[in-house]
Structure 1
Amino acid sequence: MPPTDIAILAKAPVPGFAKTRLIPAIGAHAAAVLQERLTERAVATARDATIGDVTVWCAPDTRHRSFRDLDVTLRPQPEGDLGARMLAAFGARPTLVIGTDCPALTAAHLRDAADALATHDVVLIAAEDGGYVLIGARAPHPELFVEMTWSVPSVLAETRARIAALGLTSRELPPLWDVDTEDDLARMEREFPELAL
């Protein structure tokens, strides 16, 4: 299997900037602490997969201390919407793009996704809320990312439709969940108490 790189899109753990949907429930400082813990977990998971290079794509830039402490390659996220930022993370080799909001994502999931790219053009792990927690491809496909409405329940369905329209082969792995709401936070604290605030 050729190496498969992992690109992690991460926000700096700055109060008021990270995990904003949870701020009304837990406050800006706790939301930033959670962001830092989730980023560290995502990086550790990606390293444990041992399938290729790991890069953290940082927003707003790479200067935050917590990014430098990760000891991985850092790149600034470019300007633009989520699609532009994900597309920029794809390189010349097969690439998996993930965020930091899915503590249930394991190194085994990443290895399975890389395996899928040996026989398929695109791999997805759906999110239970209608988006996805992972997208991977053997080569960049801008059509999967441009002019997409993000953070709505139709993202996964629209992505599937675009994959089909392009004539690409794809594989979907079992869905996972991410931490966006108070209910998700409670689930995280039950299932991953080491991340509890």
Structure 2
Amino acid sequence: MKPVRIVIIAKAPQPGLAKTRLIPALGAQGAADLARHMLIHTLDKALAANIGTVELCVTPAPSDPVWQTLSIPDAVHWSDQCDGDLGERMARAAQRVTNGGESVVLIGTDCPELSVDHLRQAGNELQRADASLFPTADGGYALLGLNRFDPSMFTDIAWSTDTVAFQTLCRLGRLGWTVESHAKLHDIDEPADLKWLPNTWLDAISTNSFIEQ
């Protein structure tokens, strides 16, 4: 079986850097606290899926002291996103991983609904298909799994719009790649999205008492 690597694209959960579109609802510190909770939650799910190496691809660089404030398990590998738009940063990660002989599962930290079962499903699908896609209700995607790399998957995509998943599926179709696509999940990007958070998380927001779990 081809090895799989989960690459989590993440920003440091700092006020004013992470989840800025939620600041009107939560304040800068509240948005950063939620970002921190979602990051740890995503890491926990990725490790629990046990489908392969888990890599945290971050900005700022792993050497930045901000990352020392988080309890990141030793099993997690680190990489630097470097410069460029989201597409360029994901493309570098995808190309590096696939060139190294692994399938890549690209995820962010914005989708609490993305579960261990979803990750395992993607890992299994990449044993027989070229790609796996879990779209989101806002038109993006929570997970993109790839067995091989082509730059068209990441160039000239209108990132942060409601056409990202559609454009990605069109690129896959033009390449003639097989893809497993799934029902939509919910990202947490805008204040209106907060209703999709687990109830215990909403309680934590109201009491400002996030606990790593």
- Give % identity: 38
Q: Answer yes or no: is the 8 Å Cα contact 1:96–1:135 preserved in 2.
A: yes
Runs of 4+ residues deviating >4 angstroms: none
Point out the more displaced range, 128-137 or 181-190.
181-190
Q: Answer yes or no: is the 8 Å Cα contact 1:37–1:195 preserved in 2.
A: no
Matched residue, 1:69: 71
TM-score of the aligned structures, taking structure 2 as reference length: 0.87
Q: How far does the alpha carbon of each residue in 1:100-143 deviate from its partner, in whole angstroms, 9 at most, with x for none?
A: 00011111100100111111111100001111100010122211
Q: How far does the alpha carbon of each residue in 1:13-61 deviate from its partner, in whole angstroms, 9 at most, with x for none?
A: 1100110000011100011111111000000000001011000011122
Q: Distance in 2 between matches of 1:35 and 1:66?
A: 16
AA of the residue aligned to 1:196: A
- For 1:3-14, what aligned pairs fall within 5 Å after superposition? 3-14=3-14
- For 1:1-197, what aligned pairs fall within 5 Å after superposition? 1-62=1-62, 63=64, 64-65=66-67, 69-71=71-73, 72-90=76-94, 91=97, 92=100, 93-190=102-199, 192-193=200-201, 196-197=204-205
Q: How far does the alpha carbon of each residue in 1:136-157 deviate from its partner, in whole angstroms, 9 at most, with x for none?
A: 1012221100121100001111
Q: How far does the alpha carbon of each residue in 1:66-119 deviate from its partner, in whole angstroms, 9 at most, with x for none?
A: 576313211111211111111122202001000000011111100100111111
Post-superposition shift, 1:186?
Answer: 2.7
**Matched position secondary structure for 1:174:** coil
Q: Unpaired segments of 5 or more residues in structure 1?
A: none
Q: Unpaired segments of 5 or more residues in structure 2?
A: 206-213
Q: 1:141 to 1:195 in 2, by over 3 A?
A: farther
Post-superposition shift, 1:182?
Answer: 1.7
